[in-house]
Amino acid sequence: MTSICLLNGNSFKLWRNFMDLTLSIIKPDAVKRSLIGSINSLIEKNNMKIVGQKMLKLSIEDAQNFYSVHKDRAFFDDLCNYMTSGPIVVQVLQGKSVVTKYRELMGSTNPENAEENTIRKLYGVSVEENSVHGSDSKENAKIEIDFFFSKREIF
């Protein structure tokens, strides 16, 4: 009986509550080089589930809002120009401790310092064009997911 209960809808929703969500962005440099499939494959091989995904192009205002935490940094204008230079893929990832887990798979901000087999080591071009974004905390993950997704777009 227990195993049947574990499979019913309510129990599935309860189980989902133990799984975290994070926001991932496949940045313009990676989309331009046709790396969406390769990056998604790494995400899935590492037991993170893509539960929301769409391609879009940010306006300059979108980029400035999304990266407002960096507005006083010297690289802010360049970063916003780069993030609006082409389409991006925004994704919601689900998994146990997925915020930390995806940050680990991404690697360090500067690809030169990133660990072997991380996305940024494999595909990053420079400290700016580093192929992917991932939320840095559970709190920011919620804010960033809400920035891009409505509830009906997350499965």
Active site residues: 133
Interacting residue with ligand IDP among 109, 113, 117, 137 (CB under 6 A): 109
128: contact with ligand IDP by CB under 6 A: yes
Stretch that binds ligand IDP, among 11-19, 43-51, 57-65, 122-130 (CB under 6 A): 122-130
Residue 127 interacting entry, from Mg ion, ligand IDP, none, C-beta within 5 to 8 Å by type: ligand IDP
Residues 65-95, buried b or exposed e (16+ Cβ, 10 A)? Answer: ebbeeeeeeeebeebbebbbbeebbbbbbbb
**Phi and psi at residue 136, in whole multiples of 5°?**
-105, 0
List all residues 6 or more positions away from 60 whose beta carbon is below 8 Å from its beta carbon.
Answer: 80, 81, 84
Stretch that binds Mg ion, among 33-41, 78-86, 120-128, 132-140 (CB under 5 A): 132-140
Instruction: Give the whole-angstrom CA distance, residue 147 versus residue 133.
Output: 14
Shortest distance (Å) from residue 53 CB to ligand IDP: 19
Shortest distance (Å) from residue 79 CB to Mg ion: 11
Residue 62 interacting entry, from ligand IDP, Mg ion, none, C-beta within 5 to 8 Å by type: none
Cβ atoms of 132 and 30 closer than 8 Å = yes
**Judged by CB, which is closer to ligand IDP: 21, or 88?**
88
Instruction: Give the whole-angstrom CA distance, residue 54 versus residue 88.
Output: 8
100: buried, middle or exposed (CB in 10 Å: 19+, 13-18, 0-12)? Answer: middle
64: contact with ligand IDP by CB under 6 A: no
Cβ atoms of 134 and 99 closer than 8 Å = yes
Chain positions 35 to 94 lying near Mg ion, rule: CB under 5 A, are none
Binding site for ligand IDP (CB under 6 A): 70, 75, 79, 109, 127-128, 130, 133, 136
